[in-house]
Amino acid sequence: MFHTEEGEIFAVDDTCTHQDASLADGWLEGCEIECPLHESKFNLRTGQVDSPPAKLPIRTHTVHIEDDHICVEMSDAQPNLPPGVKFGVES
């Protein structure tokens, strides 16, 4: 989850689609998260790649605020994972 300076809250998969890196360790600027390894940038609203080397988008999840609680509706789409990382398997 990311909370922007504008007060928006976004939920996305934490793994960069280019290489196995935690996006939570990256840099948040506006509505973009930058991967700490190779500087790929992803739009938090859409998941789309804004700056390579990543080519595939990250999966986004729907966020609702209800009575001061943050609720996340997980996407049922398959995640775009980097090479060598398997869905549901710890590395």
Domains and CATH numbers, the chain: 2-73 (2.102.10.10)
pLDDT, position 89: 54
d(CA 83, CA 71): 30
Is the pLDDT at 87 greater than 80? The verdict is: no
Rounded to two decimals, what is the model's pTM?
Answer: 0.88
pLDDT, position 85: 84
Is the pLDDT at 2 greater than 90? The verdict is: yes
For the stretch 50-63, what's the b/e string if a residue is b when 16 or more beta carbons lie within 10 angstroms of its beta carbon? beeebebbbbbeeb
